[in-house]
Chain A
């Protein structure tokens, strides 16, 4: 009996130590947040979060360097920050992020700006902040033409895939439950992996923002095998992410973005990534600026409400 008690105690001691750690964490007072501008000024560096497969927003070229439309915009912001802080030089560090860890890494200070294809919505604004929208896309799916998927009902009972940590996977999970579609939803680690699942036949459809689907299909071995749905499940405005409750930094970032839009430089940057050949294989996406995004350029907004983009 005593031996049993001792064994139970030995097993529970890890639990006690865990409890101690958590209790200490709760007891510590909540610290005030330091200004991002102060942090940049004192460290002389700014860290940009980038993606590895969000073509053409943020991805690796064939030299494994991060490039993309969102990164170009971020570099404009970096110039503005450097000017604002009057620094002789500002080191730019790059940190690879995924859909799943971009928000925690922003919240815990690992990155200062996230330059990718992150949807700005009201729920995320509880955790992070966004600057002016840099693209407007819609949530659709891509499937092989041979699968003959025309509408959401055709996906009943089938296996579909989306990327972990995205608004798309959350939305399709909710739709699946609400409409009782009985779909099996696989969560992939990244966009290229998810697309591969459709290519190899593991999943029938990949639910993601249409611009990303379009570029992945265009880069695949046989682009004509695929078609993107006409059904749009939602409107997704992309925004560069920054930390919440940091008005000084947001002001500088917003001002930089508005300057790029108003001066017309946005058109040059947009053309470079959407209307001209892009690395690594010189593919030209040939996607002209949508009417919704033109509206944003004329009247820059950082709204997370899809209604603002209709």
Chain B
């Protein structure tokens, strides 16, 4: 192969003067995690709400939930990212839109990215929460009614605590997905890890070293997150209940 490797480039200073290229990439990892975690929390909040609502007998709420899920599931992530970043500020009233556009980078890209990723991921969370609640025996809901609990009380004290424990494994794999999906934010200028790897390639002309370093960093991050999640799952697991959401489900 007529490519001359030069791994030392990782220790050369990057043009912005902030340090070595390796440091530059690791700061990118910081942004990746900051975006991913904020988006994941948002996704859990919205997704749990939407998923729960879709299991209630309230017809119009179920329809709304379905509409929400269908809209954000059928538009590609990068298109949603463009809508949040380019189109949303234009649709706000003039003053609000201008304020949003004036937000200095990286915050001007961070907030749209978090909102976009949060909403996108919330759809999958909603599906998993719904599957989790529906996998509970029907008798649970009926027992709640028999005890004189109202519908919200049944959810709060009987159904949801069990459902969340069941869906924890799929939910933690959603964190891994969000970390990977955060790379799409580079298209709106957020300099997370992949974006910085590309910038490093542009400044130093060292494509393979840059992308190899980024790949290794993603693999290590993956490993750490998976191990941390295993610990969390073991603490929260309910013996005897099988998790809803099989590996045969399509997706990334």
Q: Please report A residues at the B interface, Cβ cutoff 8 Å.
A: 4, 7-8, 11-12, 14-15, 18, 22, 25-26, 28, 30-33, 100, 103-104, 107, 126-127, 159, 164-165, 170, 173-174, 176-178, 184-189, 200-202
Contact = CB atoms under 8 A, between A and B. Distances in A.
A14 B205 CA distance: 26
27 contacts: A4-B227, A8-B223, A8-B227, A15-B220, A18-B212, A18-B219, A25-B1, A26-B5, A30-B3, A31-B1, A33-B2, A100-B198, A100-B202, A104-B205, A104-B207, A107-B205, A159-B102, A159-B108, A164-B199, A164-B202, A165-B202, A170-B15, A177-B16, A200-B90, A200-B101, A201-B101, A202-B101
Contacts of B205: 103-104, 107, 126-127
A201 B212 contact: no
B95 to A, nearest CB: 12
Interface of B: 1-5, 15-18, 90, 98, 101-102, 104-105, 108, 187, 189, 191, 198-199, 201-203, 205, 207-208, 212, 215-216, 219-220, 222-223, 226-227, 230
A189 B202 CA distance: 12
Contact of A15 (B17, B191, B216): B216
Contacts of B105: 159, 184-186
Contacts of B101: 200-202
B212 A22 contact: yes
Nearest to A182: B104
Given A11-B226, A107-B205, 10 more contacts: A8-B223, A15-B220, A25-B5, A31-B2, A100-B202, A170-B203, A173-B16, A174-B17, A186-B105, A201-B98
Contact of B17 (A126, A178, A188, A202): A178
Nearest to B222: A11
Given A30-B2, A201-B101, A187 B230 contact: no
Given A25-B1, A187-B189, A7 B227 contact: yes
B53 to A, nearest CB: 36
A164 B17 CA distance: 18
Contacts of A174: 15-17
Nearest to B17: A177
B78 to A, nearest CB: 12
A7 B230 contact: yes
Q: Which of A12, A25, A28, A186 has the most CB of B within 10 A?
A: A186
A271 to B, nearest CB: 35
A17 B1 CA distance: 19
Contacts of B17: 174, 177-178
Nearest to B2: A31
Contacts of A7: 226-227, 230
A213 B191 CA distance: 25
A25 B98 contact: no
A25 B202 contact: no
A12 B104 contact: no
Given A7-B227, A100-B198, A178-B17, A25 B3 contact: yes
A186 to B, nearest CB: 5
B102 A15 contact: no
A173 B1 contact: no
